[in-house]
């Protein structure tokens, strides 16, 4: 396989706007990004043109989210083409995540476009298609009728209106408005107390999933997952292409977390809807639990929603938002996500840059290494896991500048990353699809390059690529992890510590292996 890596300078985030004095820029000497946690930035009207996407990449974005809830396929196709062109220009793999909308429940329309439900009054959700008023409205989801029971809750417009079921049959659901207020056309409905017998994918989602596979999206995010079967169905439709990320945003998904995690390639803690359906105080410990379980499974976990929400309008975050991002980094999340901040906000580039600086500052904290190890991860009883754990142990004992991992599927990189070693991971892979998917994996700097065929070639290439990509200098030591026979998936069984020589690149100056 011919090399796809250009000899470019590492992408280092631009200088960011001023933050409070305790949050300062930081660049790790042997890490082009200066941090290990990844940044996933959502693209939208504020960030759709090629120039802004490039600025977001340079500001610190590692991967981009395409929200399939908004926009036409033609626009999304143009966005993906722009990212791929930028990838070719920079010589760096860039991950693309297509986020499916999912089966969002909504009320019908109102006679005047809106109505006011008084506190404590009765309000009816029915199957009547007539426009609603302050006493009733259509609920165009027949699967809910006859399912809901007395005492269960319905939350409308992200919980701004809270209804309690008094009586439900196959034609109407009579409720009491515990919290009333203004309700308008097509507002969303959450049903936290019941398992809704609907699939995780609508017909729109199926079309969007086919689009994502056709345009070679690296990740597909599945919204409103309730059970492992939802994940299995999406995986079947993907036909083996790409990686699947399950979004945890419903209480039922939390109860089925083990099964969902087993069938997924990654997890997203989608705190928006999760925070609506649960009490607010329940979300932070749940976030930590999900991150911990995903880390133990060696699968990427993304923390999302309202991380720097105030930066939709303001050029600087609140102190609470800075702490929120910092806590996700301290917990060991693989990635943190920006939503409306970069998709529709006034300060998209600044939001990415500040998130980068917060993460880098946290990782430069002397107590970070100890904090991130509060979550114990025990290696499985396999040679591959034992060697991955050994890489982390060696990095704590010796002055190692990087861990170089040769992998085709990315499995070896995930094993090492779940140990959260002190040094960055330089991952060399012959598959471009693998290099792109690893854009959301903690600590990884992936390089697409030709495969190796011998031990000598492995050592030589490991040294050269470490020097070329800024992961060491003459005299520095690196750990090299691979499998013999080479090219055999799942055969990680070789660990070697080598010292970089200053003439390593000169000796192979004519080598175009990447």
Dihedral of the CA atoms 261, 262, 266, 269 (nearest 10)? 0
CA distance 310 to 324: 13
CA distance 50 to 84: 11
Cis bond upstream, residue 485 (ω within 30): yes
Say which DSSP state 34 is in: S
Cβ burial, residue 239 (10 Å; 0-12/13-18/19+)? exposed
CA distance 426 to 461: 12
Q: Please, which residues bridge with residue 175 across strands? A: 123, 165
Q: Annotated catalytic sites, by residue?
A: 65, 106, 247, 305
Give CA angle at 233 (227, 236), nearest 5°: 145
CA distance 174 to 154: 11
**Are 94 and 447 contacting, i.e. CB atoms less than 8 angstroms apart?**
no
SS3 state at 417: helix
Supply 446's token pair. Answer: 């992936």
């Amino acid at each position: 396989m011919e090399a796809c890596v250009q000899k470019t300078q590492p992408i280092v985030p631009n200088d960011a706007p001023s933050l409070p004095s305790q949050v300062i820029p930081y660049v790790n000497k042997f890490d082009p990004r200066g941090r290990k946690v990844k940044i996933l930035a959502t693209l939208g009207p504020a960030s759709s043109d090629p120039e802004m996407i490039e600025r977001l990449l340079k500001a610190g974005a590692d991967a981009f989210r395409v929200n399939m809830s908004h926009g036409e396929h033609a626009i999304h196709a143009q966005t993906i083409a722009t990212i791929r062109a930028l990838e070719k220009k920079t010589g760096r793999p860039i991950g693309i995540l297509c986020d499916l909308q999912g089966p969002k429940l909504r009320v019908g329309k109102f006679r005047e476009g809106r109505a006011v439900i008084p506190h404590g009054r009765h309000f009816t959700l029915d199957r009547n298609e007539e426009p609603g008023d302050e006493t009733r409205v259509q609920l165009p989801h027949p699967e809910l009728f006859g399912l809901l029971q007395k005492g269960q809750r319905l939350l409308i417009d992200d919980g701004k209106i809270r209804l309690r079921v008094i009586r439900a049959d196959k034609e109407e659901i009579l409720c009491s408005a515990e919290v009333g207020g203004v309700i308008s056309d097509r507002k969303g409905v959450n049903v936290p107390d019941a398992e809704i017998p609907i699939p995780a994918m609508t017909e729109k989602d199926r079309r969007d999933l086919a689009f994502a596979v056709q345009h070679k999206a690296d990740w597909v995010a599945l919204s409103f997952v309730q059970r492992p079967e939802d994940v299995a169905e999406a995986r079947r439709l993907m036909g083996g292409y790409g990686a699947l990320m399950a979004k945890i945003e419903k209480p039922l998904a939390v109860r089925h977390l083990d099964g969902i995690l087993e069938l997924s390639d990654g997890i997203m803690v989608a705190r928006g809807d999760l925070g609506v359906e649960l009490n607010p105080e329940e979300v932070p410990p749940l976030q930590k639990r999900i991150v911990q379980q995903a880390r133990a499974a060696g699968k990427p976990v993304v923390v999302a929603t309202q991380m720097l929400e105030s930066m939709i309008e303001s050029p600087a975050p609140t102190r609470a938002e800075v702490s929120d991002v910092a806590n996700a980094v301290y917990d060991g999340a693989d990635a943190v996500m920006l939503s409306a901040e970069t998709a529709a906000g006034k300060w998209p580039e600044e939001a990415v840059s500040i998130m980068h600086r917060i993460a880098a500052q946290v990782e430069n904290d002397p107590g970070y290494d100890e904090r991130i190890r509060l979550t114990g991860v025990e290696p499985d009883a396999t040679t591959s896991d034992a060697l991955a754990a050994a890489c982390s142990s060696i990095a704590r004992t010796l002055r190692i500048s990087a861990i170089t991992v040769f992998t085709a599927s990315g499995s070896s990189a995930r094993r090492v990353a779940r140990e959260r070693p002190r040094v960055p991971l330089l991952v060399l892979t012959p598959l471009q699809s693998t290099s792109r998917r690893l854009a959301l994996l903690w600590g990884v700097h992936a390089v697409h390059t030709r495969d190796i065929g011998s031990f000598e070639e492995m050592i030589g290439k490991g040294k050269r690529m470490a020097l070329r990509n800024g992961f060491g200098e003459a005299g520095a030591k690196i750990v090299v992890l691979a499998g013999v026979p080479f090219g055999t998936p799942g055969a990680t069984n070789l660990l070697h510590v080598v010292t970089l020589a200053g003439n390593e690149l000169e000796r192979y100056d004519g080598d175009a292996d990447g």
